[in-house]
Structure 1
Amino acid sequence: MLIILLVIIQSYDCRVFKIYNSDFIPNGGNILLKSIPEYSNRLVECLSECESSSLCLYTRMNESDCSLYSTINQFTTPMSPNVFIYKKIFENNGLMHYWPIISSSVGEIIGGKNLYDGVNVDFVPDRFGNENSAIRFRDGFIKVPPLFIRDSFTFTSWFRILNLTFNARILEFGNGVDNNNIILVFCHDLNGKPFFSIVNQNEWNNVVISNTVFQIGRWYHIAFGVGGNRTFLYIDSKFDIETIGPGMPKNINRTINYFGGTDWNNAFKAYLEMDEIKIYERSLSESEIQNEYLN
């Protein structure tokens, strides 16, 4: 159990939070929520608020209030004996990379894999109307740093299609054309159906073409992944389609990666918006995918 150094001693599960050892506290510009919990339960209530929020990574507690933060990239206020910061721990659920897209930032807040070199990319409101909290591609893309992707993973994201463009990518990870690629297309052959495949040496393995026809302008939650010999796809937390086959991705570092982009000449750049992008290093269960969708 985690021992809390406050006037009233409380305890909380150390598998979820740990004391963040820093000389500074986050800048108020990154705040998600500020509340004043009941005095006797303020720590437990504060950490519970953070645990239930997919955006919250840090909590700041003092004698009077609780603040939740999604990032700790900026520091302005010195730490004091009466201020405590707790960091959410992700090891148990396998969350490996997370791009929350908040306040015009494409920073990755777990592994430091910040997006870069965007082309025809800007920031727009997310599905809740929060300004500069989603990225928009208009015949564009953004690069993703090298990622080590294993043969078991799950990708989740919220996205909205702006135009149906031939074989346009949600993501493409690999080492160049036809070299250990993981490809997720939001518009297969202009039919508005998502498409997934693992490509290597001119072999398109574990091909999955969705049963769902996406509507332009509507937000969707997508979850796709692999595990064992299964490749699966969920739309808005509902099972869509799966395939069983041996062509799992190799456990290697992939160095040429995009959201919205591709190295193939026969595919167009993306017209879509994306938010809340996550990669887990394991295959999520149906209930976990539903929880991602609801939170």
Structure 2
Amino acid sequence: MLTLFQIYILSLAILLTASEYFTKNKNFDFNESNDSVFLISKKLVPKFFECVKACKFELECAYFTYKFTECSLYTKYAIYIKKVSQSSEIYTRLLTFNLNGLSYYWPVFNSSANDVVSKADLYGPVNAIFISNRQGIPNSAIRLSIGYYNLPARKYFDGDFTLMAWIRLTKTVNYQRFIDCGINKYVTVVASLSDGSTNKPYFAISNENSQSVPRVISAKPLILGVWYHLTFNFKNKTIYYFRNGVLDISGKLDNPISINRTVCFLGKSQYQNDPNTSADFDDIKLFNKALNDDEILNQYHKNY
């Protein structure tokens, strides 16, 4: 029979060899801040590895510190309050864990449009720059001015899914896209920010060569210059559109076919006559499952 000490050592070994690792940065600390943009939580835990575990199971945890049983979890933005501090240390998260179905994640941070989960990095920007995001963090949002990015080929949509992002329209443009992703204009998944020039978002799934594709259209236009958290949640052949964590409209659509989607854009339509998008984007996420209402609301309330 294993002793308590052996069980403890075994537990540590399992934890350390799990699918995620941390690196220790000596002689660094964070400035004191209770701002939720930087600090996720602070609590007393008796053992260091309980703090490790807390960060592992918090999706947005990028750093943690452990000081005399005080465990503090920090977001990626805490890099802006990092300071030199003798005899202190910061633990930096290297990989991801417990993603809750998160398949692709473009956090848009520090002038990067990379996907931190599946390496589906945005590329080939046209009329795109990095700007401050809704919290004022510099170079942490994408601005498209009649512009777009390309997405690499992937099976982005296969069964139920949840697509979400923080988005701010900057100009009224006909049929401007959030995402248009397929193999051509007839076989694609479309999350649009405007039905015509109404600024009313809609969602459509097209699986065959047809000019008539069902769409689910919001009755509420987006206001120019306002950040919104928009979520398109697909489950059991029904799309649910949420604005700022609240269900706006739902409707029936066909399941997207399971294919490698080779023609995918952020901000560009596959129809030649549709102009590119004028909007700001941040914190783009695609889950391989349908989140529940509470999970969607929780995503909206996150300040990081």
**Is the CA contact (8 Å cut-off) linking 1:47 and 1:59 kept in structure 2?**
no
- Of 124, 144, 148 in structure 2, the residue corresponding to residue 117 of structure 1 is 124
The residue aligned with 2:255 is: 248
- Of 201, 209, 233 in structure 1, the residue corresponding to residue 209 of structure 2 is 201
Q: In 2, distance between residues paired with 1:266 and 1:40?
A: 62
What is the TM-score with the length of structure 2 in the denominator?
0.76
> Relative to 1, partners in 2 of residues 1:90 and 1:266: Cα closer, same or farther, differing over 3 Å?
farther
> Relative to 1, partners in 2 of residues 1:48 and 1:256: Cα closer, same or farther, differing over 3 Å?
same
Greater CA drift, 216-225 or 206-215: 206-215
Give the C-alpha shift of residue 150 in structure 1.
0.4
Q: In 2, distance between residues paired with 1:209 and 1:190?
A: 13
> Relative to 1, partners in 2 of residues 1:202 and 1:34: Cα closer, same or farther, differing over 3 Å?
closer
Q: In 2, distance between residues paired with 1:164 and 1:216?
A: 8
1:20 paired with 2:20, answer yes
Q: Which amino acid aligns with 1:135?
A: I
The residue aligned with 1:55 is: 60
- Of 160, 177, 182 in structure 1, the residue corresponding to residue 168 of structure 2 is 160
Greater CA drift, 82-91 or 257-266: 82-91
The residue aligned with 2:86 is: none
- Of 89, 97, 100 in structure 2, the residue corresponding to residue 89 of structure 1 is 97
> Relative to 1, partners in 2 of residues 1:96 and 1:191: Cα closer, same or farther, differing over 3 Å?
same
Q: In 2, distance between residues paired with 1:217 and 1:84?
A: 37
Q: In 2, distance between residues paired with 1:241 and 1:202?
A: 24
Question: Where does structure 1 differ by over 2 angstroms across 4 or more consecutive aligned residues?
Answer: 17-22, 24-28, 31-52, 58-71, 82-88, 203-206
**Is the CA contact (8 Å cut-off) linking 1:156 and 1:222 kept in structure 2?**
yes
1:223 paired with 2:227, answer no
Q: In 1, distance between residues paired with 2:122 and 2:51?
A: 34
> Relative to 1, partners in 2 of residues 1:34 and 1:95: Cα closer, same or farther, differing over 3 Å?
closer
> Relative to 1, partners in 2 of residues 1:85 and 1:43: Cα closer, same or farther, differing over 3 Å?
farther
Larger radius of gyration between Structure 1 and Structure 2: 2
**Is the CA contact (8 Å cut-off) linking 1:121 and 1:135 kept in structure 2?**
yes
What is the TM-score with the length of structure 1 in the denominator?
0.78
Q: In 1, distance between residues paired with 2:41 and 2:122?
A: 32
3-state SS of paired residue (1:288)? helix
Spell out, residue by residue over 1:128-182, the C-alpha distance to the aligned partner (whole angstroms, 9 max, x if none): 111010000001000111121202111010000000100010110011221x200
1:108 paired with 2:118, answer no
Structure 1 gap segments, 5+ residues each: 72-81
Give the C-alpha shift of residue 20 in structure 1.
3.4
Q: Which amino acid aligns with 1:216?
A: L
3-state SS of paired residue (1:101)? coil
Give the C-alpha shift of residue 46 in structure 1.
6.0
1:135 paired with 2:142, answer yes
**Is the CA contact (8 Å cut-off) linking 2:105 and 2:285 kept in structure 1?**
yes
> Relative to 1, partners in 2 of residues 1:21 and 1:209: Cα closer, same or farther, differing over 3 Å?
closer
Spell out, residue by residue over 1:28-61, the C-alpha distance to the aligned partner (whole angstroms, 9 max, x if none): 8xx9669986573555356546745x533x4455
The residue aligned with 2:189 is: 182
3-state SS of paired residue (2:124)? strand
Q: In 1, distance between residues paired with 2:127 and 2:143?
A: 8
3-state SS of paired residue (1:233)? strand
**Identical aligned residues as a percent:** 23
Q: In 2, distance between residues paired with 1:89 and 1:203?
A: 42
> Relative to 1, partners in 2 of residues 1:20 and 1:69: Cα closer, same or farther, differing over 3 Å?
farther
**Is the CA contact (8 Å cut-off) linking 1:177 and 1:263 kept in structure 2?**
yes
Give the C-alpha shift of residue 90 in structure 1.
3.2
Q: Which amino acid aligns with 1:157?
A: A
